[in-house]
Amino acid sequence: MALQQQLKQKNTVQLLNLAIFLAIFGFIVLLYAPILLHWLDGWLNKSISIEHEYFSHGIIGLPFAAYLVWLNRKKWHRLPDTAHPVGAVLLTIGGVFYLSGVPEWVNISLPTILAGLCFWFKGIPGFRLQAFALLLVFLATPTAIPYLLVPYTLPLQSFIAGTAAFILNQIGMEVVVDSINIYVNGKIVEVAPYCAGLKMLFTTFYVSLMLLYWTGTLSSRRITTWFLSFALIISIIANIIRNTLLSFFHGTGNEAAFKWLHDSWGGDLYSACMLLLLVPLLNWMNNYYSTDPEFEPEAENVG
């Protein structure tokens, strides 16, 4: 009889916790659905600010984060219900950010509140369980980081301009470089700060993290370090080739191809093809290090 009462009390507590969780989840959806739809519309239709377009990788990252949370649901329920004071702090900060009305703060309130909920319901173990999903949400949240980095992209702009000019010179075109400006047949192409490849670098880093996690190799420092390094190099090379093509199209008067690659879906297609190269690269690295006698696999990712 006592056992039945304990089971009944346990089921009642579980149902109560589930009801509270669903209520909070519904409340979060009501708060952030308009913001998420605004991000999605801006990323798809390029109707959002240039800085916020740098986070368009959230189109694939946010659903993937939600999928990871779903996969971890059983582990989440098995964790003891232990509230951590950090949860209350983060929830308070997130609430203040949301109510401030400042766009940047409202945006950053989303990962702040989600992290706070993890600490509030399951403590540190809950946060660790959802850490990677929270990281994906944070890295997909539009902030002012691209705007802050723009003043420091001049060396990269100059390098891209010089390299693109060198390539075009090799195919017999008359090209002159002036700092970040490329003159092709008398027509100027500027390697502007937003053409320096920051968006491609952001997306490459983000997708690389997703691939490392999905293949279970994120726990290997050696593979992670080398893969991210090669991925960033590939991104820079791809951006140099893109700027070279843009200069070629503009210099030869092929404005339709220029606009297709620069402003239309051609740029997205080009980026997608570049990102696909990361898959065989990671597979090769996994196979190479798995046969390396000095390589010792580390513990599997608990996420």
Tokens of 74: 């059983």
So what's the pLDDT on residue 24? 76
Contact 91, 24 (CB under 8 A): no
Rounded Cα distance between 235 and 238, Å, is 5
pLDDT tens digits, one per residue of 65-96: 999 999 998 898 888 888 899 999 999 999 99
pLDDT band of 18, cuts 50, 70, 90? low
C-alpha closest to that of 90 among 66, 55, 65, 123 = 123
Rounded Cα distance between 164 and 192, Å, is 14
So what's the pLDDT on residue 183? 81
DSSP codes, the chain:
-HHHHHHHHHHHHHHHHHHHHHHHHHHHHHHHHHHHHHHHHHHHHS-S-HHHHTTTTHHHHHHHHHHHHHHTHHHHHHS-----HHHHHHHHHHHHHHHH--HHHHHHHHHHHHHHHHHHHHHHHHHHHTHHHHHHHHHTS--SHHHHHGGG-HHHHHHHHHHHHHHHHHTT--EEEETTEEEETTEEEE--GGGSSHHHHHHHHHHHHHHHHHTT-TT-HHHHHHHHHHHHHHHHHHHHHHHHHHHHHHHTT-HHHHHHHHTSHHHHHHHHHHHHTHHHHHHHHHHHHHT-TT----PPP--
Rounded Cα distance between 210 and 212, Å, is 5
pLDDT tens digits, one per residue of 24-67: 778 888 889 999 999 988 888 877 777 788 898 999 999 999 99
Q: Which residue has the higher pLDDT, 189 or 298?
A: 189
What is the model's pTM? 0.84
